[in-house]
Structure 1
Amino acid sequence: MTQTAVQKAATETISHQVKSNASPEMKVVDEITSAVLTASMFDHGRDIRYAGITDVLFPEGYTFVRRKLGRNITVPSVHTTEFIVDGDDGELVVEFRFIQPRIRGLRQKYPDGRWIRLSSRPFVLDGNTYQAGNEEPSEKMITTGPLKLKDLLSKKYKKVFAAKKERVEELIKDSKDKAQAMFVREVAESKIEVNVACRRLGDKEGRYKVSIRIQNVIPIKLSGVRPYNAEEVMKKSLFGAYTLVKSSKCTLLDTGNEEAMRECANLSTYPVKSSKSSDTLFSSPVIVYDYPWFEPINMTTSLKEIVADDKTLLSHMHLLDKNEVSVLKKSGKLAKILKVFRALAESTEGKVDRLYQFQWDAIQKFIKSLLKDDPGVLIIRAPTNSGKSLVFYTCSVLISVLRDDVKGTATFITFPTRALNSQQFSEMVSFFYHLNQAGINIKLGLYMGQEDDAAVKILSTQYVKEGDEIAIIERCPNPACHHDKIVATKPSENRLIPMCEECKTTLPYILLTNWETQDFCPEVVVGTPDKIVNSLTHNVYTHTLFGAPCKKCPNCGRHYPLCLKDQRESVAKCRGCGTALDNSTITRSTPRLVVFDEIHTLTGTQGNLLGHFLALLKTVGSIYDIPRGFWYVGATATVANQEELVSNLTGYEKDKQTVFPEKEEFLKKSDGSGYFVKRDDRIRHRYVIVEPLGVTTRGSVSQLTSSLHSFLDNARKMEGIVKLELAKKGLTIDEAYGTQTVYVLRKDDGRDLEKFIPDFAHGTGLRRPKVKFGSGDLSSSQLVQLNRAVKEHSLDVLLVTQIYGQGVDFPGLNIIHFFGTPRSFIELAQVVGRTGRGDVPGLVLLHLVPQIPRDEWVYQNFRYMIGDLEAHYEPTPINVANKYAISLSLPNVFHTLIMARAYEDHQMRYADYVHGRLNTDKALLKDILEEAIGVYERPSMTAVEKKELRTMAFMKAREMIVDFAGSKIETIKHLSAKDVLVPTLREKHKVIRYSEAVRYSALDGLSASGEDIVEADD
């Protein structure tokens, strides 16, 4: 098929920057990339505002005018390209290629013989319609003769290339053969200045830096209201512009190395050695980059074969030593492990045949630490979409199966967003179904949001009726059914049990509401960090999840907290079924494991606070006599201070941290060791970086999403490359590239684009795409509906904030647009990781925001940065000794430690009683203060830091306890009214400091760092 001038420019932009191959997926991504670039370089149907939004060189006069207007748009008239070469006898030939609009004007002949220019409205003559507009542009190229590097040292090359206006007239005659109208096809004159300079680099023999400056110096008429003539600018702009430098007798050096980054400054271009020839440099404003695929190595044996019997299972557990194997056999726990892995195999049937070797070995490492009673941190290093979640939920079950000192709620699994928690919870339902079918009685609870949140109401027993759909569970886990509708059954007013609408399978061990999770203390709780922290530090009645003593109903399984006024009575009544609960029913949960994904995303105050509250969780456990020792399992990418980060977060120093696989174990070696293979024949992501020219970033995103939507819509109807090549992979367009995602940093941008994109498409003659915006403001019901729309391919463009940025996996979300560079490179990697998770590469389009320093840096350093992205991850600044973070969390910590005493004395729930008790019980106050200090203390703290910490703790204790005096309400209500407690790890909050300085007698005899507390003004 013959390509247009614009398509040729797009093809060249791609083929010079990436290596292609004949695989179906590469043909598809090349075709889609070409469609993107064609739409961005030149559009026949639009004026100068949107005709081209990349690769444009505007006339310098227009650039001057736009700068004076001060709008936040980029209108360059200059391309500057700099690079380094080796070779004293080197010669260079510079080719500048571009396309120039061919304008079709229409004139009508008046009776007096004058030709009058018509507007762009259609002109009808003898039933035929004629219209002015843009035609296929004209291909142009200017070239220099061979330029010797030595000659350029003494005198730079400068030349102006000018071309006259091209004009063709075509008469339009009526039925009587008389000329009535005339087409005037015109290509404007051009004037391009080329400068080439060279200088020797330091004392390096034969090393030169070459600078090429190309400028559009054509004069334009600066007239009209704007004040410029839009058609004049259109005609005299150079679209799809790029530069080729062909070298001989010298060597072009890599443009992405540190020397090039240090010595060269490129303006509106990004040079790269051509993938077609090592002697050619390609320089374009558009960056195209292919990121390779790192593939996990499969086990040689299928999971079903491994779990054939206990002997076979043990033969594959090669990391366990003889003593550990002996313990498993003698304790009878081997049979339980076998059941766990059989349930895993059954729940993943059809999706997972063989585990990846890193998954299997990571699980073994966790088993070893459980058997050795060696608590610590297991950090899993693996790319996105490699199956870390499978390790998480397998380990969460194994701790309840293997540890005799664990019961009730043992594990908290926390993901950063509600959307991700919901999705992971849904995926775990099948696993827990098969576990219970195998006789392992284990429950799974969902825990997120507040009961009055719109996001949580949809799953509340108060609002859900018998027969209502439970959309958060995607399908029936019964392998004989797999029906896609789960409904609610309500055996009692406060009980909600999911049931398959088709086969009537019930799931009583799946707890969907916060109240049920708190009441039934499931072995595994999946929830947001905010909810878990809020429950720990705000609500005394939820401490049954964190180890507080309670009574468990032998009939319905509900837990009755022992912090109520009847705590001294030997019999209580179950709040669910009324069963009498005597002292023989007393029990407690033993939380021992916290699982969190993407540790490196926990930054700043959010990370500091989480570190405080994880330490508080252990402290509360010790108050409730839970066995000491906490396990942590998480995932992280390489960060500069990983050991320090994990230490601040968990309290465990380096000797208790296991990173798996280690950096040297990551890639497969010649001896067969290693866990991942870098695939040279396959890419994971294709990046396309565009700097919007002449429009805002909103305009750039809107044009390319609309154009790409139109392209994909047409591709569905035609037997073209995209459809045919995907069919070879057994995929449809919807399955591979069904929905475009636009990632925004601000909710305002998302709401704006939700309205603007469809209107933009309609205004340019394209079919309106279906666009939805998903943010943290959506209820669970709305989230489920949005998820369903994506999975059913009924949504064209999905606008998202971070809610979908970390961990959510949907087929068909393989095209993502960034509305500006994310706030961190870690965030960039996480969001990009949502694409390219299947059989086709992800297409990542980064629309830069003009004049934003971070965006400018990314543009100028992209290949250098993306080639080693992990090395550019920001050192995550978590420091639990941070005074500001301590000042925020101290009220929560004190309140939690006070609440914990309510399980011995129920009146500790009330503010005035706490004031009186702590004013007289000096020993209790001292215990609480020491426990609070212990939450923050780390071995690495200096003596000065410890003294300052103790002083802060004493001052905060005095402030709070003095203020409790005379307040007859619960402490939580009192502190909430004062707005003292941190409500969340993320949201902004204010802290009320008490100005009253009152001496508190119980504190007088206590000391901080060996010295008495000195009364001071707050």
Structure 2
Amino acid sequence: PYIEQIFYIFKAIKDYLKTFIPKNDDPRLHLFQWENTIWRIKYLIKKLKFKKDIREVLNRKQNTDEKKKEIQILESNYKSEARIIKAPTGSGKTVIFYIDSLLHYFFLKERVVIIFPTRLLNLEMFQNLTTLIYFLNKHKMNITAGLFIGKSSFKMASFDKKSRNFTLIPVCPECRSKISFSFNTDNIPECNSCHHKLDYIYLPEQISKVLPDILVATPDKLFWDLLTGWYAAGNLGNFGAQVIKCPNCNQYSSFLNKEQNNSYVNRESQVKCMHKDCNAKIPLDVIKVERKTIGFIILDEIHSISGLTGIFISKLIKSLKLIQRKFIGINNSRSFDIDIETGTATIAEEQKFIEKLVEKKVSSFPSEEEEYKKYFLIDNDNIRYRILVLNNIFTSLRRAFTYLNLYNFKSYNIDNKYNHLLSSKYGINDLGLGCGYLYRKNDGYAVKQSIFQFSKGLGFNIKHQNELNSQNLLFISGNSKQAEVIKFLKEIENKDISLFLANQVVSLGLNIKGLNRITLFGTPKSMNEQIQTIGRIGRSKTPGMATILLYPNLPRDEYLYENLHFYFLNCNRLFESNPIQNYNLYISEILTPNLFLLYLNSELEKNYRYKMKNYSRQYWDHESPLNRIIVKFILLVLSGSGDDFTKKQRQKIFNIIKTTLMKIEQKLVVAGQYEFVNDILNRNNLIIKGIRGTSSQVGIKINEINENYIKKN
């Protein structure tokens, strides 16, 4: 069966790639994509055999010691490693991620999570994944995908009130028309042209009900659902807790349901479907009980992960692995482990960085610099993009940046000055879409207003003034609303936009169709950001054009101006490393309540009443043996089992955990006996809600601690 599945995966990949190239072109995979796929298939066959051998040993009628010895022999021949895909921007790392995720799911039947750092990138990749899965399901592969971002209703965010259409998917994968989708009577998006149903993709609010095979997610959303304790009955089924499918509505119900009692868990009765629109009684059949574990995590754009954010993501992955191992009852790390794959183009010492991030050994592909040259050669006759550096004088940088964007807009989109020249040389004028890049949001909002004001004095007609109106001109940032981001991607797909403004979110892996011209407001803070940002252009036949407008009197910009050729000819030497220091006592303190709540919620499989303060006393009372088990679990997440921590450091973390749990106990003792534990902890502000926001707050707090220490000493 695997040979047939591999065949259909590559057939679907070929059909998927055809949607990005001219009709007469024949898509082909790059050599490094083929060789990585061969490695992945060999690795999965080895892992499949390892899991089979483990099951055979566990099922034998032997004493425990003999089983342990045999398992140790099997483990010595199998090692789970993280893998880094090293390739230039625009070379096709995402295609590798899609292939590897599909192979992993079909071989091991474990779910896959692909983590992208921003909502914008998640939306774009989910749109691409929808097309790929459509081609797979044409061959009856029956695979599903889900988008896992945000906290609010995504259905509302992707619903256009004027047209009453579903706008998340801009192009129908069946008929390729750009006519929008509408929700049919079954609440499924359906193409208004060919009536194709998107019954294989799911929005964030549907994930816990359907548990899709492949998730496209932000780390913040995973953190929120796993570690904040919010609605554990519904959320933990997404992370390995027991679930059963309702035969009436075909949705999953968790055994952590508030409607259950001990008799349900003991499989003596029925489970009530947890979904309000169904409420059917499900006959409790042991065979139908499932655990939909996550066995493969792909981390893209790892250059955006550093410092405190990196520590949080590291602990998120560790806690997910350990809680799933607890759910399925396997204590040995190699009997159940999460495979990790990452991709990078612009980071120094990436191997050390990933080892810190995922706490396991890492292998790179291509492995050495000489091997890298085997796959990627510099073509001196092919110009990908040109860089123009301007030193601003006699005016403010905002004013100069505004006029520069307006001048380019007029030249390429109104006067069409270069159409004939570009068409005669490259066969296409591919410089029509421009981006103004600013890394400070305040500058972005100010330039957005001034572009429209200054356009009036340059003789722009009403049509173009309307396009540059502050209401229509988009500034895309981390603060952009879901609906605004969806609108942006739809306008890009339909070529309804000629200029937009953006900050760092646009530099993190986005492949913006038609973007081939970018203007930068000063030199980005790091070489990583600069190459990633400029790497958004030059992906077509026409070379891209990047203009950097320098800050006057800023040392970084002055250095670039004075050392221009050295700066760009030595990019690889100037890439920054992303430091992660896993030993951080303050983060250990603020994460402890979240990890305590995670462990307590995992015990709801035994008795749903443990969510209440009175029934869960054996877990939070410091004299209870079960409390010591929780301490051990939290310590394992926060300090790991590797060589990164000394005994003294582990002891300090242990003391922090004990002290924090005593504080939790004090809050619980005075609370009402039937109050929910998660409500008590949230009311007392003991639970942190997300990664990036908390990272900023922790950074400020750590700076305050350091300043106070300096003053005292």
Same fold (TM over 0.5): yes
**Distance in 2 between residues matched to 1:614 and 1:953, nearest whole Å:** 19
Q: CA deviation at 1:429?
A: 0.8
The one of 348, 372, 378 aligned to 2:46? 372
Superposed counterparts of 1:158-237, under 5 Å:
none
Q: Do structure 1's residue 487 and structure 2's residue 181 form an aligned pair? A: yes
Find the partner of 1:641 among 335, 344, 349. Answer: 349
State the SS of the aligned residue for 2:379. strand
Paired residue for 2:189, among 495, 498, 503?
Answer: 498
TM superposition score normalised by structure 2: 0.84
Percent identical pairs in the alignment equals: 25
The reply to whether residue 417 of structure 1 matches residue 79 of structure 2 is no
Report the 3-state secondary structure (helix = DSSP H, G, I; strand = E; otherwise coil) of the residue aligned with 1:690: strand
| Contact 1:593-1:632 at 8 Å conserved across structures | yes
AA of the residue aligned to 1:520: V
Residue-by-residue CA offset, 1:150-196 (whole Å, 9 max, x unaligned): xxxxxxxxxxxxxxxxxxxxxxxxxxxxxxxxxxxxxxxxxxxxxxx
Amino acid aligned to 1:762: K
Following superposition, the deviation at residue 921 of structure 1 comes to 7.2
- The answer to whether 1:358 aligns with 2:27 is no
Q: Of residues 518, 538, 542 in structure 1, which corresponds to 2:208?
A: 518
Check 1:687–1:907 CA distance in 2 against 1; reply closer, same or farther (3 A cut).
Answer: same
Distance 1:683 1:721 in 2: 18
Aligned pairs (5 A) from 1:69-468: 332-350=1-19, 351=21, 353-373=27-47, 374-403=79-108, 406-407=109-110, 410-451=111-152, 457-459=156-158, 468=164
2:223 aligned to 517, 525, 533, which one?
533
- Other structure's SS at 1:683 match: coil
1:604 maps to which of 303, 307, 315: 307
Deviation track 1:314-371 (CA, whole Å, cap 9, x = no partner) reads: xxxxxxxxxxxxxxxxxx3212221222222233335361111111212222222211
Is residue 2:646 matched to residue 1:942? yes
Aligned residue in 1 for 2:541: 839
1:429 and 1:911 mapped to 2: Cα distance?
44
Q: What is the deviation of 1:606?
A: 0.7
Alignment check: 8 A CA contact 2:413 2:432 kept: no
Counterpart contact for 1:915–1:962, Cα < 8 Å:
no
1:741 aligns with 2:435: yes
Measured in 2, the distance between the counterparts of 1:378 and 1:875 equals 18
Task: Choose the corresponding residue for 1:508, options 184, 196, 199.
Answer: 199
SS in 2 for 1:799: strand
Per the TM alignment, residue 447 of structure 1 is displaced from its structure 2 partner at its CA by 0.8
> Which residue among 865, 869, 889 is the counterpart of 2:567?
865
* TM-score, length-scaled by structure 1: 0.59
- Which of 597, 608, 617 is 1:906 aligned to? 608
* CA drift at 1:448: 0.5
Q: In structure 1, what residue type is equivalent to 2:688?
A: V
Q: Does 1:957 align with 2:661?
A: yes
Matched ranges for 1:933-1012 at <5 A: 933-936=635-638, 937=640, 938-965=642-669, 966-967=671-672, 968-988=674-694
Q: Give the corresponding residue for 1:679.
A: 379
Does structure 1 residue 884 correspond to structure 2 residue 607?
no
- For 1:681, what is the secondary structure of its paired residue? coil
Q: CA deviation at 1:510?
A: 0.9
The aligned residue for residue 243 of structure 2 is 550
After TM superposition, the structure 1 stretch with the greater mean CA deviation from structure 2, 849-858 or 875-884, is: 849-858
Q: Does 1:573 align with 2:278?
A: no
CA displacement at 1:715 relative to structure 2: 4.0
Conserved? CA contact 1:687–1:846, under 8 Å: yes
SS of 1:613 mapped into structure 2: helix
Measure how far apart 1:639 and its partner are.
3.5
Matching residue of 2:52 = none
Q: Secondary structure at the match of 1:551?
A: strand
Matched position secondary structure for 1:592 = strand
Secondary structure of 1:694's aligned partner: coil
Work out the CA distance in 2 between the residues paired with 1:979 and 1:560: 30
Deviations 1:862-912 (A, max 9, x none): 322321212212121112212333333233222212221122221232345
Number of matched residues? 631
Q: Is the 8 A contact 2:181 2:191 kept in 1?
A: yes
- Contact 1:376-1:630 within 8 A present in 2 as well: no
**Conservation of the 8 A alpha-carbon contact between 2:271 and 2:282:** yes
By how many angstroms is 1:721 displaced? 4.7
User: Bigger relative contact order, structure 1 or 2, given CA contacts below 8 A and separation 6+?
Assistant: 2
The aligned amino acid for 1:596 is L
Is the radius of gyration larger for structure 1 or structure 2?
A: 1
Seen in structure 2, the aligned counterparts of structure 1 residues 379 and 893 have a Cα distance that, compared at 3 Å, is same
- Counterpart residue number, 1:60: none
For 2:194 and 2:348, the matched residues in 1 are separated by: 52
Cα distance in 1, alignment partners of residues 527 and 682 from structure 2: 37
In structure 2, what is the equivalent of residue 262 of structure 1?
none
Deviation at 1:857, TM superposition (A): 2.9
Q: Which of residues 755, 771, 779 in structure 1 aligns to 2:449?
A: 755
Where does structure 1 differ by over 6 angstroms across 4 or more consecutive aligned residues? Answer: 463-467
Which AA in structure 1 matches 2:683?
A: A
Sort the Cα spacing of 1:708 and 1:524 in 2 relative to 1 into closer, same or farther, 3 A.
same
How far has the Cα of 1:836 moved from its partner?
Answer: 0.9
Residue 343 of structure 1 aligns with an amino acid whose one-letter code is A
- Partner secondary structure for residue 541 of structure 2: coil
Question: CA 1:970–1:873 in structure 2 vs 1: closer, same or farther (change >3 Å)?
Answer: farther
1-side partners of 2:614 and 2:400: how far apart? 61
Residue 787 (structure 1) aligns with: 489
SS of equivalent residue, structure 2 residue 573: helix
Contact 2:112 2:296 in 1 (8 A): yes
CA distance in 2, matches of 1:416, 1:571: 41
Does the Cα contact within 8 Å between 1:416 and 1:529 map onto a contact in 2? yes
1:712 aligns with 2:420: no
* Deviation (angstroms), 1:621: 0.9
Q: Which amino acid aligns with 1:645?
A: F
Alignment partner of 1:589 is 2:292: yes
Summarize deviations over 1:115-167 as a string: whole Å, max 9, x none.
xxxxxxxxxxxxxxxxxxxxxxxxxxxxxxxxxxxxxxxxxxxxxxxxxxxxx
**Which range is displaced more, 743-752 or 720-729?**
720-729
Counterpart residue identity of residue 585, structure 2: K
Structure 1 residue 802, shift from structure 2 partner: 2.1
Unaligned runs of 5+ in 2: 48-78, 699-713
Give how far 1:956 is off.
1.7
Conserved? CA contact 2:300–2:342, under 8 Å:
yes
SS in 2 for 1:372: helix
Q: CA deviation at 1:559?
A: 1.0
Question: What pairs with 1:18-37 in structure 2 (closer than 5 Å)?
Answer: none
The whole-number CA distance in structure 2 between the counterparts of 1:728 and 1:788 is 30
User: Which has more helix, going by share of residues?
Assistant: 2
**Contact 2:190 2:196 (8 Å CA) reproduced:** yes
Please say if residues 80 and 339 of structure 2, whose CA atoms lie closer than 8 Å, have aligned partners that are also in contact.
yes
More strand by share: 1
Pairing 1:468-479 to 2, within 5 Å after superposition: 468-478=164-174
